[in-house]
Amino acid sequence: MSKKKRKKKTTVYIVFEGKREEKFYCFLKRKYKPESVHINSNPEYGGSSDKIVQQALNMKNNYNKVYAWFDEDKSLSAEIRAELAKAWNIDKSELSEEVKDSDLQSEYNKENRNPILIVSNPCSVDGFLIKLCGGSVPKTLNTDDCKNTFNNMVKSCTASCSESEYYEKNLTKDYLESKKSCLPILELILSIFEEASKKS
């Protein structure tokens, strides 16, 4: 009797900017249970967007999918844009500094070549989470105000509510799926886990 062939796991590497991204990512991992995907995550805890994308570029040939998740508040340098263009096999003039970071992936990497960019917007991961959770993004649109607004949303849930508990209480799978069409970044993040579901 022949041995049953094991399914080969998809390998994923994701580097993200900080603790808030990590908490949200861990919540999604628990929710979607991607058993057929081996995911290595590497939080930078405040690393610059250049540093995060550089790390993803360094790992792009070692995994099936490599993701760089960072805020749009500080634009990528011309040097990193040139390296991205080379990795994506396009002319570096297409990724000029006039192109917003949040448009790089959607406009120039539709085929999802490594590295795949997840750019939190508006402004930061806090701005993205405010929109996802149905709050109002502050008009000032700076990182500190977005962070304070989201922290207050979490605190208003219950006095003892942690960020992870807030996600569990408010973000069901059905709710997340319903938000993909209006939040392209969410669709990109969930594609990491949904690919796993298809293969399992």
Tens digits of pLDDT across the chain (200 residues): 555 555 677 889 999 988 899 999 999 999 988 776 788 888 777 779 999 999 999 999 999 999 999 999 889 999 999 999 999 999 999 999 999 999 999 999 999 999 999 999 999 999 999 999 999 999 998 999 999 999 999 988 766 678 999 999 999 999 999 999 999 999 999 988 865 444 43
Residues 6+ apart with CB under 8 A from 68: 14, 15, 16, 52, 53, 55, 56, 115, 116, 117, 118
Query: Quick one: the chain helix, strand, coil %, rounded to 5?
Result: 50, 15, 35
Q: Cα(88)–Cα(65) distance, rounded to whole angstroms?
A: 13
CATH 2.60.120: does it fit domain 10-124+181-199? no
Closest by alpha carbon to 87, among 119, 57, 121? 57
pTM strictly above 0.85: yes
Contact indicator for 115, 67 with CB cutoff of 8 Å: yes
Q: Name 14's bridge partners.
A: 41, 67
Write the single-letter amino acid at 13: Y
Q: Order the strands of the 65-71 sheet from edge to edge.
A: 37-43, 10-16, 65-71, 116-120
Distance CA 121, CA 70 (A): 9
